[in-house]
Amino acid sequence: MFTGIIEEVGSIADFHPLATGARIRISCAKVLEGTSPGASIAVNGACLTAIEVSESSWTAEISPETLRRTNLGDLKSGALVNLERPLRADSRLDGHFVLGHVDATTEIASLEQIGGGNWWLRIRIPPDLDRYIVSKGSVAVDGISLTIAELDEGIAGFTILPYTYEHTALHGRSKGSRVNLEVDILAKHIEKLLPRS
Q: Give the tens place of pLDDT for each residue, 84-119.
A: 999 887 777 788 889 999 999 999 999 999 999 999
**For 52-91, how does the pLDDT look when each residue is reduced to its tens digit (9 = 90+)?**
999 999 999 999 999 999 999 999 999 999 999 998 877 7
Looking at domain 104-193, its CATH class is mainly beta
In sequence order, what E strands does the chain have?
8-17, 22-27, 40-43, 46-53, 57-62, 80-84, 104-115, 118-124, 138-141, 144-147, 150-151, 155-160, 178-183
User: Closest Cα partner for 161 from 176, 179, 177, 146?
Assistant: 146
| Residue ranges per structural domain of the chain | 8-84, 104-193
The yes/no answer on whether domain 8-84 falls in CATH 2.40.30.20 is yes
